[in-house]
Amino acid sequence: MTTISDIKKQIENSSARAVVENAIKLSKDNDEYHAILNLTEERALARADDVDAGKTTGKLAGVPFVVKDNFLAFGAPTTAASKMLEKFNAPLQATAVEKLEAEGAICIGKANLDAFAHGGSTENSAFGPTKNAIDPTRVSGGSSGGSAVVTALNIVPFALGTDTGGSIRQPASFNGVVGVKPTYGTVSRYGVVAMASSTDTIGSLTSNVTDAEFVMDIIAGRDIRDMTTLPDFFQVQPETKQAQKIGLIKEFMADGVDTDVRNCINQYADQLRAAGHTVEEVELPMIEYALAIYYIIVPAEISSNLARFDGIRYGHRAEGVKTLAELYGKTRDEGFVTENKRRIMIGSYVLSSGFFDAYYLQAQKARTLLINQFNELFSKYDALIGPVAPTTAFKLGDNTSDPIKMYLEDIMTVPASLAGLPAISVPAGFDKSGLPIGVQLIGPRQSDAALLSLARSMEIK
Amino acid sequence: MTQITRDDVLHLAQLSSLKLDDNEIDGLRTDISNILGYVEKLGELDTSGVEPTYQVTGLENVWRDDSVIDYGVNRDDLLAIAPESTNNQVKVPKVL
């Protein structure tokens, strides 16, 4: 697969313009996957010329990348894959994009996602699904499906995504790339369309772990414009800690999980043992409740965050209305897909008076119990492992009729999100049909670099 | 198990400022009932004496200087993204 260092060599041997032109050509040639919603061609080529002229320099000078289309970025609309923002040209750029541009990286396009990042297959995009990079009859995963597919197809060496409950890790697993969901607060979310503020994170999709470390190192850090960001703690660890104690999460290896997936994770555990680490089965019983906690807290936060889309200040505005209620109602009807509405309404329900204690408050208390169980395990273990998802990429259309079936896809990724823990998805093998399987590594808060170091040491060179 | 009625769906839609198409209402009624039925399993848990978690990284309220932060955008940039504007103000349709 194409890595950042491959691209840097290509730039040295030709030019940034040639490399960026090639990336744009590749994305057009792979149009059938529908991974990119809009290219930022004109701006990208102008920036490439600046690199070639020596006006733009940095650690990623001339290296093309793609952002999920919920990052505000110049050169094309920021749609969040919705009709609401179809024509929205952002007046500013996300901090993460600015940081990459400050190192000379060149954004060439905006990747498809489930509208407003609500979904696990990119089938909820208002502009049509993204197809899996390995088998186009299957889903890309989601919600950062487009970002995973452009990386897997070697269109760009890296892409940015967002992960609220698995939206980087699961598509990374489905397309055979490395996906990083960092500790909550590692990367500024300023300039990124908000979904669920207590679990929203920003991370990378790359072809290997070294590139993930490289990108995370650049985008991590405190930003006064996102008050939840932590002081920069991310420091690449070239040396991997020896003889680590690793817990294999028992609940993630239950009967309902695909046999090929389980076998693959067991093999990874054996490889960890062969490398001198200890791997033991551990129990995390609160995992049984994690999805229920998630699907109360996240819709509640969504209903609040998406209240801003009212047709007044920016985005879509409905025509031909007579009252204010009609203006809001019709604007939001036309601007949102059904899954957006479903989540907003569930959020309204669990937050409404009379139900608040039974749903929202109970979920926040249950969240504490889940976090306590994680903390207990991390007092004994350096990291936890398990699958990313119970299956490999499923067929397009298979899960669209039943929202709960789709939500169950998130069952292994939401626990780390609720606890704010770093979790990464690393390619670990393939199922019988040749579809990629990812292993998930979860660590204590702020152990992101150690987790990546462990993953790098296990990578097949 | 929570059963949501058609009226409940319409009430939730109103609370959420959402107009629904007729053909969406029945589907949402089933979906929301099923989802609420699923999340109700949290009722099994004994959470007496447990503090709720609202944020996970130990953030605390802090004071900052009462000074302007440069967000890199000005009034014109923001007016330019409004559906309509006039005289440096966002223009809205007459709705009264």
- Beta-bridge partners for B89: B86
- Residues 12-41 of chain B with CB under 8 A from chain A are 12-13, 15-21, 24, 27-28, 31-32, 34-36, 38-41
d(CA A48, CA A64): 9
Average pLDDT, chain A: 97
Q: What is the per-residue pLDDT across B28-54, written as a single tens digit (0 to 9) for each?
A: 999 999 999 999 999 999 999 999 998
- Interface check for A369 against chain B (CB to CB < 8 A): the answer is yes
Q: In sequence order, which residues have a C-beta less than 8 Å from that of residue B84 and are 6 or more positions away?
A: A317, B90, B91, B92
The answer, for B81 touching chain A at a CB cutoff of 8 Å, is yes
Mean pLDDT of A77-106: 98
Distance from CA of B67 to the nearest CA of A (A): 12
Q: What is the 3-state secondary structure (H, E, C) of chain A?
A: CCCHHHHHHHHHHCCHHHHHHHHHHHHHHCHHHCCEEEECHHHHHHHHHHHHCCCCCCCCCCCEEEEECCECCCCCCCCCCCCCCCCCCCCCCCHHHHHHHHCCCEEEEEECCCHHHCCCCCCCCCCCCCECCCCCCEECCCCCHHHHHHHHCCCCCEEEEEECCCCCHHHHHHHCCEEEECCCCCECCCCECCCCCCCCEEEEEECCHHHHHHHHHHHECCECCECCCCCCCCCCCCCCCCCCEEEEEHHHHCCCCCHHHHHHHHHHHHHHHHCCCEEEEECCCCHHHHHHHHHHHHHHHHHHHHHHCCCCCCCCCCCCCCCHHHHHHHHHHHHCCHHHHHHHHHHHHHHCCCCCHHHHHHHHHHHHHHHHHHHHHHCCCCEEEEECCCCCCCECCCCCCCHHHHHHCCCCCHHHHHHCCCEEEEEEEECCCCCEEEEEEECCCCCHHHHHHHHHHHCCC
Q: Would you tell me how many other CB atoms lie within 10 Å of the CB of residue B61?
A: 5
pLDDT at residue B10 tops 70: yes
CATH 3.30.420.40, applies to A1-461: no
Structure tokens at B8: 């409940």
Domain parsing of chain B, residue ranges: 6-44
Q: Which of B24, B90, B92 sits opposite A338 (nearest CB)?
A: B24
pLDDT of residue B71: 84
The reported pLDDT for the residue numbered B60 is 83
CB contact under 8 A, A225 and B71: yes
Q: Is the pLDDT of residue B22 over 90?
A: no
Give the residue numbers of A marked as catalytic: 68, 143, 167
Token reading at A106? 């060149």
pLDDT of residue A461: 61
Per residue in A205-232, pLDDT tens?
999 999 999 999 999 999 999 999 999 9
Contacts A341 to B, Cβ<8 Å: 13, 16, 18, 20, 24, 28
Q: How far is B79 from chain A (nearest CA, A)?
A: 8
DSSP state of B84: S
Cβ of residue B45 closer than 8 Å to a chain A Cβ: yes
Closest CA–CA distance from residue B50 to any residue of chain A (Å): 6
Cβ contacts from A onto B, under 8 A: 174
- Do residues A131 and A33 make contact, with C-beta atoms less than 8 angstroms apart? yes
Cβ–Cβ below 8 Å for B19 and A329 = yes
pLDDT tens for residues A147-160? 999 999 999 999 99
B24: closest chain A residue by CA: A338
Q: What is the least distance, in Å, from the CA of B44 to any CA of chain A?
A: 10
